[in-house]
Structure 1
């Protein structure tokens, strides 16, 4: 669907995007995450040539946009919707007219506009806000108008540039659910820029991690969470799925403290109960959580295991064999 081929974008002596290669499949929600200055927004704007790459190719539906004339690019942009962090609505126009603006710009007839705008308002849940001005809307409602406007010309691709960064957590969740519904019902390919790993966890199928203009890691979201390869990715995951054990809980312990990571089916099995049946040990749960990613569980448990040394060793080996990973955090003699 989208091939980003060796794309570089340079401003004077600064490489905002540095030799990026990515393939985004048709119908997927693809996340690009990185801290401010990583180059993710510049890369996104290269996809519809709002920023023309200094080098490389942007190929969408087998058409190389970088080889087109300015007039041809404007025509292709009608197939690429875009929503922004700060909405960019026309304050002097009502909701209906903000959405209709995109249709008028595409040369649609009055009859087509009158038919399409109500459909879009219903899609984003704003049928009762058609005659309101942007100033009369909440942040979430403004973004819904932005989404409706971006979908007006039935694009094949939707670009989202920090679309939820200006919203509170509850509103963010509702906007993400709307985008997920749009992806599922319309089959639109969504490319989503964010600096929040929670956004990636909730909605994306795959994700690329950017640092200093380069893509340093790409993977299925679940696999990225379960087995991050770079230090930056680990930092992002730590904001969503992490356990920090207070130092006081290590004081006075009689057995080793271990962290057990569960992936997939192992997170839903009674491994600890089975361990207690097989070996003469006690397991004291100190901390734990299960995060669901794409409806698949990813769990972490921190426990103290006490008993005879040999039995503890056998129990640890048994748990290690049954789970994805076990790490001894403190080996109490």
Structure 2
């Protein structure tokens, strides 16, 4: 369990005082993948760097497995940090060292006995799929391969927590997906808690269990990823979700619509039911699909559709009422001409 309580980080310059993290409290459950989302300047990088005290918080508490990091000093703090691995956006590999040496460096820094280093590095290279790259240098690797080395290095000392600071932002979409799948595999097999910061909702949708949205140093919304995708409360959250699930219909098409335009949302198993087809068959209306899709979040379907309903007003009202009784949400967004 990671417990963050009333955490603040204030940066002071000659010109002004900036609250990078503003009184944030979060509980992250052992073994989950927790996403922290926000635009540049939202405070998410400051928050994650406070978790291993790369940035010293101005105030508040950080407890990992019951240990208050804010009260540790010297050797005890260094030992606690060994249980917190971190991977970065730009890899931070040592260009003059081979892949083997990059990973071994983390073990030597932790004073791992020399007799154990070769076995551990070999295990890690196999885990991240780079067993054949042990003697090459970072310049000879692709971006995705470099990040795999970064992951192996972060796992070297068997951490209980893995912090990912925009770990996929420098990668193309296909490579991003492969890295996210590797992180999910590590999370499941090693039971490591992962805290992942990003500005990309596709990343959160792919592997996170829960998430928090940050703005101006504060957490403005928090919850299970599925719940936030299916029922966002804050405007910023809705903006982020629209980057993944977009339902903008061209105005030229909307201008041709004469019926009522409704938004229909299905959650869970309901998304697989034929609600719309049942509605059109039971009532004397015509239904035209304008836009829609079914997303799978944590393997649970979330369906959202925009459609135009044409016909007698009473029949349309009955159809909307029927859909409302079966769907999670039915919202009339245009009453037609």
* TM-score in terms of structure 1 length: 0.98
1:287 aligns to what SS in structure 2?
A: strand
Gaps of 5+ in 1: none
What is aligned with 1:6? 6
Matches of residues 151-162 of structure 1 in structure 2 within 5 Å? Answer: 151-162=155-166
- Work out whether 1:266 is the aligned partner of 2:309: no
Q: Deviations over 1:103-126 (max 9, x none)?
A: 111111222101101100000000
Q: How far apart in 2 are the matches of 1:83 and 1:251? A: 49
Cα displacement (A) at 1:327 = 1.6
Q: Which range moved further: 137-146 or 107-116? A: 107-116
1:257 aligns to what SS in structure 2?
A: strand
1:207 aligns to what SS in structure 2?
A: strand
Cα displacement (A) at 1:322 = 0.9
What is aligned with 1:201? 205
Cα displacement (A) at 1:279 = 1.1
Q: How far apart in 2 are the matches of 1:48 and 1:282? A: 59
Matches of residues 1-333 of structure 1 in structure 2 within 5 Å? Answer: 1-12=1-12, 13-333=17-337
Q: How far apart in 2 are the matches of 1:222 and 1:138? A: 33
1:317 aligns to what SS in structure 2?
A: helix
Q: How far apart in 1 are the matches of 2:156 and 2:143? A: 20
What is the aligned length?
A: 333
Deviation beyond 3 Å, 4+ runs, structure 1: none
Q: How far apart in 2 are the matches of 1:117 and 1:221? A: 35
Cα displacement (A) at 1:300 = 1.2
2:291 aligns to what SS in structure 1?
A: strand
1:329 aligns to what SS in structure 2?
A: strand
Q: CA RMSD in A?
A: 0.9
* TM-score in terms of structure 2 length: 0.97
Q: How far apart in 1 are the matches of 2:258 and 2:217? A: 49
